Structure 1
């Protein structure tokens, strides 16, 4: 604002000197008098009434004088202009909105106060004016046009005003999808957590929404999961390692503001460790008894599932190994021990392993004891006659569940006081031949005692043998024959057993 004081002389001449302007609520300014006039400029007077006093200093020719006036200051009108940058922007890209407030002529000065930004389809924000400018930053505006109104609230010296602009968010922002898995590698049956993270591609910012569909590369059904905070997680278990490493694909569906994207990862599944346990039944067993050996193969945690393949059993007795297929994780083999020599035997089951499950082995001990036996005795012929050879047969057999062919010897006693006879077993059978010299004491008890061996326990059996008298024939001869009257003739009677009888008959012959 300009102040002017005109010095009017009450005589002739032109006053010189100075004029001091005193502005109530403002500054005091002194200005020289030039051609009878003094001027000064005063800025930043507040709104209101300001009395002004101008005091002329006087000079050598003119006396001092004073003049007054009143200056009324009202609020200046303002203009608010709004701009946004960058414009247009990509979805999620931060946008800076600037409002500049200036006085309208003739107003001057720098407005202060608050600007309120009203963003259609977005937030309402406020910012203070700094040197006449207010700025805010906003992101996550949806795709499309967004009218912006900046409302300046005014201050003590400047009137409110508003300005408008329109900001455009371009088509959907690009997105990226990344996939990770843990643990990696895993084993069959182990739970694996897959995490997909979806983010806008710069300059886009914000948090992705929508869904992610996971495919696991093993032929299992896809799984769709909602994004939470831009992240989707899913758990999956691989049944085997066939086809490992698997390609895992996470497909982001996109949203109103983000374009779809796909992320991939490879997940490695390695063979799970296993344990092999061996049991047997019955234990202990006897020689020749069938024993069932069971091998159970199971994954070691965190592995899970049912191993397949084969198990090879070795029985510890030098017999040939036996390879059996696993069914439901179990393999069984039946084996009979031919001997107890070497008992207890170490039985080993070796799992072959495969792509999904690692090989392992387990062992057990099997105790084999001697088998009980039975000894049966038969004779032929029965009955027999005195002197007739009788064949006695002893058959030694294992008592079930034992099996095999006992070896060793059998000792026969015939019940007639004759010496015992020991005979070797051949194929489980021993035979002895004996002829009874008399029938006295018949029937005779015949006993066969089996000695036993390292694998079969001893046993005995008995039978009765009936001996009857043997038939005889009597032959008569004479000498001399012919004879003459009165000549002594010797008659001889010869008594002999009829076959199969044998021996020497006793007794008398009556001629």
Structure 2
């Protein structure tokens, strides 16, 4: 290997070289000759070259630094004289015993830029590992101080504006302030004014918090980064988030549907937030049937209910109107059509008393009830029938209609009550109520007038036949009068009264009773026996003599007329004695109430003539006034 060439001067040539590598070298000098001298080669000169010692110096800049700030560690490796040259190879950089990295020497210098030093004091050294020509060396300790890096925190909230209950994502971005670098860790507290909303962990320099809890209004949001071992804390500027009321939607159902009148119908209004709003609306819901307010329900869990039995028969357009609250706007449900039909009914009929007697007032009671699930009180009228015959009509009051009938004939009656229905309730027919009517009892009373009476006077026997309660009505048929135990011809009842007038009762006391012979509706009865008295009838006697005056020896006709004194009746019978003063002239027999006597025995003079009726079994005696007769 040619190391170099040198010119001989004074027979000597020199060459200075630093290029011999470490090791043993066999050096020779070869003279190439000149015109005068031939060339020649020296003997071998053995040269030993060892590695040169080195020194390593270390600096780090900047110093002090902040966490994450790039710090350049510079190691300068130099040969220790008499060594010379520029060391090559690599330098390892250490933080204490921790290898930070390795740098390649270029021009005797190796650098390493690192941002990995933690906060604190670091004892840095650079270790040159040597090369074939230079020995390794270690630098003195370079003390590097790393402080926490300042940070900035930025806050955004989205969406903004938002509606109540809408999920709002609060994003805090925490960054190192140059020359600090790196990604802060730790936690961020999110505040609404002074109120802590929540805490989130910083990941990749970002912390997020999703909340739906912000109330309606304007919110001053801040994010407070709490720092970590390497980064100082920081607070974001205020982010103003505006939250408006969320729209709501109201849905209405009514059940059961269809329903019957009086049936409890539950109206259920479900109020929900319209996306993106979320949450559970509160407040009240008004339930309407068309424009008519049915009632108000309070929301619980977003649901308000109203139970009503007051919907009339027909089709109802139901709506639920949510009035809103501090967080939700009001809303109106679509129309829910509820159909209410007539409720079925049952009609029950009772008649009392049963059995009954003819003419007895029988109260027919119809009870009309709604058939479940229908409820309420049916109104309207009930028709009461005996078989196919309408007895009458009663108006329902409190679900009950009554009709009193006394005209049912004797026998069995199939009674029914027919409810005609009303706007809310369907009609219905009761089961048959069998009513038995038996004959009514009667009482018979007999009276006689006048009492007492006189012979020949008309005497009226009156029998009054009455229904014995509870029977009522007017008995018909006939009454047989018994006079002295002897039945008379039956006499028909008229208006419950039968009369028999007789003028033939003899003088004396007779027993009288009346027997009612019954009819289709009434039983027989017999009156108590009473006595009637017939006295003799009074009479008056009138006397006439003709001719008057008469002459002696002339036949004179004396006429006596005997008359019954009212109220006596009939024509007296018997005899009349004619007197001249106290002298009996003779006797005449009454015929047609007249008795006569002819006499020629009257002497000249004035005669006081009288007629004396002697009476009979039926008539009392009587004497005429004096008839003055003159005989010449």
Cα distance in 2, alignment partners of residues 256 and 25 from structure 1:
65
Match of 1:354 among 422, 437, 455: 422
Cα distance in 2, alignment partners of residues 123 and 236 from structure 1:
47
Matches within 5 A, 1:270-309: 270-299=341-370, 303-309=374-380
Q: 1:284 to 1:274 in 2, by over 3 A?
A: same
Q: Deviation of residue 175 (structure 1)?
A: 1.8
Equivalent pair of 1:371/1:402 in contact (CA under 8 Å):
yes
**Which residue of the partner structure matches residue 444 of structure 2?**
375
**Which residue of the partner structure matches residue 149 of structure 2?**
76
Q: Deviation of residue 127 (structure 1)?
A: 0.1
Q: Deviation of residue 288 (structure 1)?
A: 1.8
Equivalent pair of 1:83/1:97 in contact (CA under 8 Å):
yes
**Which residue of the partner structure matches residue 459 of structure 1?**
525
Compare relative contact order (CA 8 Å, sep 6+) and give the higher one, 1 or 2: 1
Equivalent pair of 2:408/2:437 in contact (CA under 8 Å):
no
**Which residue of the partner structure matches residue 471 of structure 2?**
402
**Which residue of the partner structure matches residue 333 of structure 1?**
403
Gaps of 5+ in 2: 1-70, 537-570, 577-587, 595-616, 618-632
Q: Deviation of residue 300 (structure 1)?
A: 5.2
**Is the partner of 2:162 in helix, strand or coil?**
coil
Cα distance in 2, alignment partners of residues 433 and 227 from structure 1:
94
Residue-pair matches, total: 472
Equivalent pair of 1:115/1:153 in contact (CA under 8 Å):
yes
**Which residue of the partner structure matches residue 322 of structure 2?**
252
Cα distance in 1, alignment partners of residues 102 and 402 from structure 2:
121
1:294-348 deviations in whole A, cap 9, x for unaligned? 33434456655432211111135x6433123224433222211353222xx3432
Q: Deviation of residue 182 (structure 1)?
A: 4.6
Q: Deviation of residue 197 (structure 1)?
A: 3.1
**Which residue of the partner structure matches residue 35 of structure 1?**
107
Match of 1:24 among 75, 83, 96: 96
**Which residue of the partner structure matches residue 312 of structure 1?**
383
Q: Deviation of residue 167 (structure 1)?
A: 3.8
Q: Deviation of residue 42 (structure 1)?
A: 4.0
**Which residue of the partner structure matches residue 135 of structure 2?**
63
2:126 paired with 1:54: yes
Moved more, 377-386 or 67-76: 377-386
Structure with the greater alpha carbon radius of gyration: 2
Cα distance in 1, alignment partners of residues 338 and 285 from structure 2:
18
Q: Deviation of residue 80 (structure 1)?
A: 1.9
Q: Deviation of residue 357 (structure 1)?
A: 2.4
Matches within 5 A, 1:145-224: 145-169=218-242, 171-185=244-258, 187-189=260-262, 191-217=264-290, 219=292, 223-224=295-296
2:86 paired with 1:86: no
**Which residue of the partner structure matches residue 599 of structure 2?**
none
**Which residue of the partner structure matches residue 336 of structure 2?**
265
Moved more, 200-209 or 188-197: 188-197
2:187 paired with 1:114: yes
Q: Deviation of residue 241 (structure 1)?
A: 1.6
Q: 1:391 to 1:47 in 2, by over 3 A?
A: closer
2:572 paired with 1:471: yes
Cα distance in 1, alignment partners of residues 331 and 289 from structure 2:
17
Cα distance in 2, alignment partners of residues 91 and 274 from structure 1:
52
1:41-68 deviations in whole A, cap 9, x for unaligned? 4442221222223222223322222213
Match of 2:516 among 450, 466, 471: 450
Equivalent pair of 1:77/1:103 in contact (CA under 8 Å):
yes
Cα distance in 2, alignment partners of residues 14 and 121 from structure 1:
65
Moved more, 360-369 or 132-141: 360-369
Cα distance in 1, alignment partners of residues 194 and 392 from structure 2:
78
1:90-143 deviations in whole A, cap 9, x for unaligned? 333211111122223333322110011112387522100112211001224344
Q: Deviation of residue 377 (structure 1)?
A: 4.8
Cα distance in 1, alignment partners of residues 384 and 318 from structure 2:
40
Q: Deviation of residue 7 (structure 1)?
A: 1.4
Q: Deviation of residue 404 (structure 1)?
A: 3.9
Cα distance in 2, alignment partners of residues 236 and 119 from structure 1:
45
Q: 1:391 to 1:18 in 2, by over 3 A?
A: closer
1:67-90 deviations in whole A, cap 9, x for unaligned? 132322222222322222223323
1:395-431 deviations in whole A, cap 9, x for unaligned? 5443355334545555554437x6x566474656778
Equivalent pair of 2:383/2:419 in contact (CA under 8 Å):
yes
**Which residue of the partner structure matches residue 100 of structure 1?**
173
Q: Deviation of residue 21 (structure 1)?
A: 2.6
Cα distance in 1, alignment partners of residues 294 and 409 from structure 2:
60
Q: 1:451 to 1:146 in 2, by over 3 A?
A: same
Equivalent pair of 2:411/2:436 in contact (CA under 8 Å):
no
**Which residue of the partner structure matches residue 482 of structure 1?**
none
Cα distance in 2, alignment partners of residues 97 and 338 from structure 1:
93
**Is the partner of 1:355 in helix, strand or coil?**
coil
Cα distance in 2, alignment partners of residues 195 and 122 from structure 1:
38
Q: 1:313 to 1:99 in 2, by over 3 A?
A: same
